[in-house]
Amino acid sequence: MNVMDAMRFIESEFIIINSTPCSVCGGHYITESSGFHVADHAAMNVTSCYCERCGSRKDFSFRAPQISSMDPSTSIQLN
Ligand SMILES: [Zn+2]
């Protein structure tokens, strides 16, 4: 995965998060943290968000692209 692929992947995540209304009040979610973890032999990128209006929390999970080619010391958390 090159830098452009990584940017497209991250960009698509933000589009999904920005287009998802809060399930409680319909407000917008704000990204709090993001990290990779591995579950069921699949790398997932989990982004923790909270609602800007009511504070309701939601975790967005995305299937991560091939991350093995990326330097694990750069902003990837493998739990
Ligand atoms: Zn809300």
Question: Could you tell me which residue, 9 or 60, shows the higher pLDDT?
Answer: 60
| Alpha carbon separation from 30 to 24, 36, 54, 68 (Å, rounded) | 14, 18, 11, 28
Q: Which fold has domain 3-63?
A: N-terminal domain of TfIIb (2.20.25)
**Model's pTM, two decimal places?**
0.67
63 CA from centroid of ligand 1 (Å) = 25
| Alpha carbon separation from 20 to 5, 7, 24, 30, 46 (Å, rounded) | 23, 20, 12, 11, 15
50 CA from centroid of ligand 1 (Å) = 8
- pLDDT score of 67: 52
52 CA from centroid of ligand 1 (Å) = 7
Question: Could you tell me if 53 and 62 are in contact, meaning their C-beta atoms sit under 8 angstroms apart?
Answer: no
pLDDT tens-digit map of 18-77: 999 999 999 999 999 888 878 777 788 899 999 999 999 999 988 876 555 454 444 555
- pLDDT score of 60: 92
| Alpha carbon separation from 23 to 36, 47, 56, 57, 72 (Å, rounded) | 24, 16, 8, 10, 34
Contacts of 55 (CB under 8 A, 6+ apart): none
